[in-house]
Amino acid sequence: MASNYSFYSIPTYWFLALVPHAYAVAVAKKANKGFWDNTNPRRTGYLEKNIPKDVFAKYERAEAAHTNGMENAPYFIGAVLAGNFAGLDASTMNIYTGVYIGLRALYNILYVNTTTLKNSRARSLVWIAGLLTIFTLYIKAANKVLADS
C-alpha cells in the first residue's frame, strides 16, 4: 500500500504560489539600485518610472503569476481535502496532486517568461491542464462518496 503524501502538496503549493512574488521583488529591487519600498509594497507607480520597461513587464508578469496562484489555492486545497475525505486511494491522490504541483511550477515559469501572444497559449494550456486535474479529483471524490453510500 502506497503512503499518502497528498497533504504535503498543500504547503508545497503555497510555496510555489509565493515564489513568483519573491522573484518579482528581487527583479524590481535589482533594477531599482537595490531599493524596494516595503512601506507600500503594492504601489508600483514609482517602479514603472524608475526601472526599464522590459524589467517592469517581467515584474508585472511575476506578480500576476503570484496572484493567480493565490486565486487558485482554494480550489486545489478543496480538491485535496475532498479526495482524502472521500477515501480515494493514496496512489490516486499522490499522482493527481503531484501532476498539479508540476503543472503549477511550469505555469509560473511560462507566465514570468512569456512575452508574445503566440507563446502565451502554452501558458493557457498548462493552466487548463491544471484545472482539469483538479476537476478530476473532485469528480473521483464525488464518485467514491456516491459508490460508498
Average pLDDT over every residue of 116-131: 96
pLDDT digits (tens, 9 = 90+) for 76-90: 999 999 999 999 999
* 90: Cα separation from own chain's centroid: 23
Least Cα distance to 20 among 60, 54, 72, 80 occurs for 60
pLDDT digits (tens, 9 = 90+) for 111-123: 999 999 999 999 9
Domains and CATH numbers, the chain: 6-148 (1.20.120.550)
Reported pTM = 0.93
Q: What would the grid cell of residue 63 be?
A: 506578480
- CA atoms of 36 and 29, how far apart (whole Å): 5
